[in-house]
Structure 1
Amino acid sequence: MTLTAMNFGRIAAILPVQDMEVAQRFYIDGLGFTKTFQNGDPVGFIILKRDESELHLSLQPRHKAAPFPIAHLLVDDANAMFALCKQHGAKIIKGVQDKDYGLRAFVFADPHGNRIDVGQRLRV
Protein backbone atom coordinates (compact mmCIF):
# COMPACT_ATOMS: atom_id res chain seq x y z
CA MET A 1 0.00 0.00 0.00
CA THR A 2 1.30 3.44 -0.84
CA LEU A 3 0.97 6.40 1.43
CA THR A 4 -1.38 8.15 -1.01
CA ALA A 5 -3.80 5.20 -0.90
CA MET A 6 -4.23 5.44 2.87
CA ASN A 7 -7.07 7.43 4.46
CA PHE A 8 -6.54 9.13 7.80
CA GLY A 9 -9.28 9.30 10.41
CA ARG A 10 -9.76 11.60 13.36
CA ILE A 11 -6.81 12.73 15.45
CA ALA A 12 -7.34 14.19 18.90
CA ALA A 13 -5.06 15.96 21.37
CA ILE A 14 -4.46 14.21 24.69
CA LEU A 15 -3.92 16.71 27.50
CA PRO A 16 -2.29 15.59 30.73
CA VAL A 17 -4.04 16.99 33.82
CA GLN A 18 -3.13 16.83 37.51
CA ASP A 19 -6.72 17.00 38.78
CA MET A 20 -9.61 15.63 36.73
CA GLU A 21 -12.27 17.60 38.63
CA VAL A 22 -10.50 20.91 37.97
CA ALA A 23 -10.06 19.98 34.30
CA GLN A 24 -13.73 19.05 33.93
CA ARG A 25 -14.87 22.33 35.50
CA PHE A 26 -12.73 24.28 33.05
CA TYR A 27 -13.47 22.35 29.85
CA ILE A 28 -17.09 21.31 30.50
CA ASP A 29 -18.51 24.08 32.69
CA GLY A 30 -16.28 26.83 31.30
CA LEU A 31 -15.72 26.08 27.62
CA GLY A 32 -18.88 24.06 26.96
CA PHE A 33 -17.43 20.65 26.06
CA THR A 34 -19.54 17.53 26.65
CA LYS A 35 -18.14 14.37 28.22
CA THR A 36 -18.70 11.43 25.87
CA PHE A 37 -16.56 8.78 27.61
CA GLN A 38 -14.73 8.20 30.86
CA ASN A 39 -12.65 5.34 32.18
CA GLY A 40 -11.26 4.28 35.55
CA ASP A 41 -12.20 4.47 39.21
CA PRO A 42 -11.12 7.06 40.07
CA VAL A 43 -11.55 8.49 36.59
CA GLY A 44 -8.21 8.65 34.81
CA PHE A 45 -9.29 9.29 31.22
CA ILE A 46 -12.06 11.36 29.66
CA ILE A 47 -13.10 12.15 26.09
CA LEU A 48 -14.71 15.56 25.54
CA LYS A 49 -16.43 16.92 22.44
CA ARG A 50 -17.75 20.25 21.30
CA ASP A 51 -18.87 20.75 17.72
CA GLU A 52 -16.04 19.36 15.52
CA SER A 53 -13.47 19.35 18.34
CA GLU A 54 -12.48 16.34 20.38
CA LEU A 55 -10.18 16.50 23.39
CA HIS A 56 -8.87 13.69 25.58
CA LEU A 57 -7.89 14.31 29.20
CA SER A 58 -5.46 11.94 30.92
CA LEU A 59 -4.87 12.04 34.67
CA GLN A 60 -1.14 12.60 35.25
CA PRO A 61 -0.64 13.83 38.85
CA ARG A 62 3.05 14.66 38.25
CA HIS A 63 2.42 16.54 34.99
CA LYS A 64 4.69 19.49 34.21
CA ALA A 65 3.36 21.68 31.42
CA ALA A 66 5.36 22.29 28.26
CA PRO A 67 6.45 25.90 27.62
CA PHE A 68 4.84 25.87 24.16
CA PRO A 69 1.36 25.20 22.71
CA ILE A 70 0.50 21.51 22.58
CA ALA A 71 -2.76 21.87 20.65
CA HIS A 72 -4.31 24.24 18.11
CA LEU A 73 -8.02 25.03 18.09
CA LEU A 74 -9.82 26.73 15.20
CA VAL A 75 -12.90 28.73 16.18
CA ASP A 76 -15.21 31.05 14.28
CA ASP A 77 -14.88 33.91 16.81
CA ALA A 78 -11.47 34.35 18.45
CA ASN A 79 -12.61 37.41 20.41
CA ALA A 80 -15.51 35.51 21.99
CA MET A 81 -13.23 32.56 22.80
CA PHE A 82 -10.68 34.94 24.34
CA ALA A 83 -13.38 36.45 26.57
CA LEU A 84 -14.62 32.97 27.56
CA CYS A 85 -11.11 31.86 28.49
CA LYS A 86 -10.52 34.96 30.60
CA GLN A 87 -13.93 34.58 32.27
CA HIS A 88 -13.08 31.03 33.35
CA GLY A 89 -9.61 31.75 34.68
CA ALA A 90 -7.36 30.67 31.82
CA LYS A 91 -3.94 32.29 31.84
CA ILE A 92 -3.48 34.35 28.68
CA ILE A 93 -0.02 33.69 27.25
CA LYS A 94 -0.41 35.81 24.08
CA GLY A 95 -3.25 38.25 23.51
CA VAL A 96 -5.46 38.39 20.43
CA GLN A 97 -3.64 39.54 17.30
CA ASP A 98 -4.25 39.38 13.57
CA LYS A 99 -1.38 37.39 12.07
CA ASP A 100 0.12 37.77 8.60
CA TYR A 101 -0.64 34.09 7.94
CA GLY A 102 -4.38 34.76 7.90
CA LEU A 103 -5.51 34.02 11.46
CA ARG A 104 -6.72 36.10 14.37
CA ALA A 105 -4.95 34.21 17.14
CA PHE A 106 -4.11 33.99 20.84
CA VAL A 107 -2.63 31.46 23.24
CA PHE A 108 -4.03 30.47 26.64
CA ALA A 109 -3.00 28.01 29.34
CA ASP A 110 -5.60 25.80 31.02
CA PRO A 111 -5.58 25.30 34.82
CA HIS A 112 -2.83 22.68 34.43
CA GLY A 113 -0.60 24.89 32.31
CA ASN A 114 -1.38 23.19 28.98
CA ARG A 115 -1.03 25.86 26.31
CA ILE A 116 -3.55 25.94 23.50
CA ASP A 117 -3.13 28.11 20.41
CA VAL A 118 -6.50 29.43 19.22
CA GLY A 119 -7.10 30.77 15.72
CA GLN A 120 -9.90 32.21 13.63
CA ARG A 121 -9.52 32.36 9.86
CA LEU A 122 -9.57 35.93 8.62
CA ARG A 123 -11.58 36.79 5.56
CA VAL A 124 -9.40 38.25 2.82
Structure 2
Amino acid sequence: MASTEIQFKSLTPILRIFDVKKAKEFYLDYLEFTLDWQQGDEDSPIYMQVSQGGCILHLSEHHGDCCPGAALNIEVQGIEALHAKLLAKNYKYFRPGLETTPWNTREISVIDGFGNKLNMFERLT
Protein backbone atom coordinates (compact mmCIF):
# COMPACT_ATOMS: atom_id res chain seq x y z
CA MET A 1 0.00 0.00 0.00
CA ALA A 2 1.48 3.37 -1.05
CA SER A 3 1.95 6.06 1.53
CA THR A 4 0.04 9.27 0.81
CA GLU A 5 1.41 12.49 2.22
CA ILE A 6 -1.27 14.74 3.65
CA GLN A 7 -0.81 18.47 3.12
CA PHE A 8 -3.04 21.30 4.20
CA LYS A 9 -3.10 23.81 1.33
CA SER A 10 -4.78 27.06 2.29
CA LEU A 11 -7.21 28.70 4.66
CA THR A 12 -10.25 30.77 3.69
CA PRO A 13 -12.07 32.14 6.72
CA ILE A 14 -15.78 32.85 6.57
CA LEU A 15 -16.89 36.04 8.33
CA ARG A 16 -20.53 36.72 9.23
CA ILE A 17 -22.05 39.91 7.85
CA PHE A 18 -25.56 41.35 8.15
CA ASP A 19 -25.56 44.17 5.59
CA VAL A 20 -23.97 43.79 2.16
CA LYS A 21 -23.73 47.54 1.53
CA LYS A 22 -21.92 48.09 4.84
CA ALA A 23 -19.64 45.08 4.20
CA LYS A 24 -18.69 46.39 0.76
CA GLU A 25 -18.04 49.87 2.19
CA PHE A 26 -15.63 48.39 4.73
CA TYR A 27 -13.90 45.64 2.75
CA LEU A 28 -13.92 47.13 -0.77
CA ASP A 29 -13.81 50.89 -0.20
CA TYR A 30 -11.91 51.17 3.09
CA LEU A 31 -9.55 48.17 2.99
CA GLU A 32 -9.45 48.08 -0.85
CA PHE A 33 -10.14 44.38 -1.23
CA THR A 34 -11.46 43.21 -4.60
CA LEU A 35 -14.89 41.58 -4.96
CA ASP A 36 -14.07 38.30 -6.69
CA TRP A 37 -17.61 36.92 -6.86
CA GLN A 38 -20.99 37.12 -5.15
CA GLN A 39 -23.89 34.67 -4.87
CA GLY A 40 -27.45 35.41 -3.80
CA ASP A 41 -29.79 38.32 -4.40
CA GLU A 42 -32.19 40.64 -2.58
CA ASP A 43 -34.47 37.67 -1.80
CA SER A 44 -31.74 35.39 -0.41
CA PRO A 45 -28.66 35.71 1.77
CA ILE A 46 -25.51 36.93 0.06
CA TYR A 47 -22.26 34.98 0.08
CA MET A 48 -19.20 36.61 -1.48
CA GLN A 49 -15.46 36.34 -1.81
CA VAL A 50 -13.13 39.32 -1.42
CA SER A 51 -9.38 39.30 -1.77
CA GLN A 52 -6.30 41.47 -1.43
CA GLY A 53 -3.05 39.92 -2.65
CA GLY A 54 -2.81 36.45 -1.13
CA CYS A 55 -5.52 37.13 1.48
CA ILE A 56 -8.91 35.62 0.61
CA LEU A 57 -12.00 36.10 2.79
CA HIS A 58 -15.54 34.80 2.43
CA LEU A 59 -18.32 37.05 3.74
CA SER A 60 -21.68 35.46 4.47
CA GLU A 61 -25.18 36.55 5.41
CA HIS A 62 -26.15 32.89 5.88
CA HIS A 63 -27.19 32.22 9.48
CA GLY A 64 -25.57 28.80 9.85
CA ASP A 65 -22.18 29.57 8.30
CA CYS A 66 -20.50 31.19 11.30
CA CYS A 67 -20.93 33.57 14.20
CA PRO A 68 -19.98 37.25 14.21
CA GLY A 69 -17.02 38.32 16.31
CA ALA A 70 -14.20 36.38 14.66
CA ALA A 71 -10.59 37.55 14.91
CA LEU A 72 -8.06 37.07 12.11
CA ASN A 73 -4.31 37.66 11.99
CA ILE A 74 -3.27 38.76 8.50
CA GLU A 75 0.42 39.14 7.69
CA VAL A 76 1.13 42.11 5.42
CA GLN A 77 4.14 43.76 3.89
CA GLY A 78 4.31 47.55 4.11
CA ILE A 79 2.39 48.05 7.36
CA GLU A 80 3.39 51.72 7.72
CA ALA A 81 2.19 52.53 4.20
CA LEU A 82 -1.07 50.67 4.91
CA HIS A 83 -1.53 52.62 8.13
CA ALA A 84 -0.97 55.95 6.37
CA LYS A 85 -3.41 54.96 3.60
CA LEU A 86 -6.13 53.99 6.08
CA LEU A 87 -5.74 57.20 8.07
CA ALA A 88 -5.83 59.31 4.90
CA LYS A 89 -9.24 57.84 4.02
CA ASN A 90 -10.72 59.53 7.12
CA TYR A 91 -13.18 56.62 7.52
CA LYS A 92 -15.74 57.83 10.04
CA TYR A 93 -16.12 54.46 11.76
CA PHE A 94 -12.47 53.66 12.40
CA ARG A 95 -9.09 55.41 12.78
CA PRO A 96 -6.64 52.63 13.65
CA GLY A 97 -3.37 53.04 15.47
CA LEU A 98 -0.07 51.38 14.64
CA GLU A 99 1.41 49.42 17.54
CA THR A 100 4.82 47.86 18.04
CA THR A 101 4.36 44.68 20.07
CA PRO A 102 6.68 42.91 22.55
CA TRP A 103 6.67 39.89 20.18
CA ASN A 104 8.48 41.89 17.47
CA THR A 105 5.67 42.92 15.11
CA ARG A 106 3.99 46.15 14.04
CA GLU A 107 0.19 45.82 14.04
CA ILE A 108 -2.99 47.56 12.93
CA SER A 109 -6.34 46.29 14.22
CA VAL A 110 -9.65 47.16 12.59
CA ILE A 111 -13.15 45.91 13.34
CA ASP A 112 -15.82 45.65 10.67
CA GLY A 113 -19.40 46.70 11.36
CA PHE A 114 -20.29 43.13 12.40
CA GLY A 115 -17.74 42.65 15.20
CA ASN A 116 -15.10 40.80 13.17
CA LYS A 117 -11.57 41.91 14.06
CA LEU A 118 -8.76 41.98 11.50
CA ASN A 119 -5.28 42.21 13.02
CA MET A 120 -2.86 43.12 10.25
CA PHE A 121 0.79 42.68 11.19
CA GLU A 122 4.30 42.86 9.82
CA ARG A 123 7.21 41.07 11.44
CA LEU A 124 10.16 43.22 12.46
CA THR A 125 13.60 41.90 11.59
Output the aligned Cα RMSD.
Answer: 2.7
Report matched runs for 1:27-106 at 5 Å. 27-42=27-42, 44-59=46-61, 65-66=68-69, 70-86=71-87, 87=89, 88-91=91-94, 95-106=97-108
**Deviation above 4 Å: which 4+ runs of structure 1?**
none
Give the total of aligned pairs: 117
Shift of 1:91: 3.1
Higher strand share: 1
Residue pair 2:39, 2:47 contacting (<8 A) in 1 also: yes
Structure 1 residues 83, 89: CA separation in 2 closer, same or farther (over 3 Å shift)?
farther
1:60 offset after TM fit, Å? Answer: 5.3
Identity between Structure 1 and Structure 2 (%): 25
Pick which of 104-113 and 83-92 moved more. Answer: 83-92
Determine if contact 1:74/1:120 at 8 Å carries over to the other structure.
yes
Q: Distance in 2 between matches of 1:90 and 1:81?
A: 17
Amino acid at match of 1:8: F
Deviation at 1:98, TM superposition (A): 1.4
| Unpaired segments ≥5 residues, structure 2 | none
* Cα distance in 1 for residues equivalent to 2:82 and 2:123: 13
TM-score of the two chains, using structure 2 as the length reference: 0.76
Question: Residues 60 and 85 of structure 1: is their aligned pair in 2 closer, same or farther, counting only changes over 3 Å?
Answer: farther
Q: Where does the alignment leave 5 or more consecutive residues of structure 1 unmatched? A: none
Once the 2 structures are TM-superposed, how far is the Cα of residue 23 of structure 1 from its aligned partner?
A: 0.6
Q: Of the two, which has the highest radius of gyration? A: 2
